[in-house]
Amino acid sequence: MPLEKPPLKRLALVVLAIVPALAWALVKPVRVIAPEWAGVTCTTTTVCVDDTSKSAEAAALYAQAVQFVDAKVSRIPGHPRVTFCSSQACADHFGLGARSAVTVGTFGTVIGPRAWKPYYVRHELIHYLQAREFGVLRLLAKPSWFVEGMAYGLSEDPRVPLSQPFEGYRSDFLAWYRSVGKDRLWAEGSRL
């Protein structure tokens, strides 16, 4: 007797239930979507912390970074959510690994314990801005010198030199940026 095939609707529902669960379990940065599930406290709609005694410091880093990026790059649309991890356990929960911080499209950012510095938060908000301006899929197709070079260059990261290839990306981006200027940044960037 042949096995009966499940109806297409039932299969679609199973896939819709399993894919998000697998993403949550296997792709840890996706957890920025709901950081509260990681035992993190969101003190505002935009700032979450694993240690509430550091919420004022996190809020100040966030506010300074938004103000900087608004003035130096362009206005940040929306209200990006940033999770500040002061412990390595928190950072590991979000899958940072060796990274200091990560931004997942427009869903959110995680700042690890080593990245509680203004230029790191600015760097990640620039990645958020890139995802908003270009869309996540188009951003993935952009050259690394543009994506990372912009984040390192326009965040005014004081580390000189950066390790390679990042110092090269920053140099290449800043040379390109001098030729296009702030007013044409997004229009010219969309052509890359």
> Mean pLDDT throughout 141-164?
97
Contact 78, 69 (CB under 8 A): no
pLDDT band at 77 (very low <50, low <70, confident <90, very high): very high
Q: What are phi and psi of 111, to 5 degrees?
A: -105, 120
3-state secondary structure 14-54: HHHHHHHHHHHHHCHHHHHHCHHHHCCEECCCCEEECCHHH
Sheet holding 101-104, edge to edge: 41-42, 47-49, 82-84, 108-111, 101-104
pLDDT band at 178 (very low <50, low <70, confident <90, very high): very high
Contact 111, 101 (CB under 8 A): yes
Which pTM value belongs to this model? 0.84
Q: Domain spans of the chain?
A: 30-189
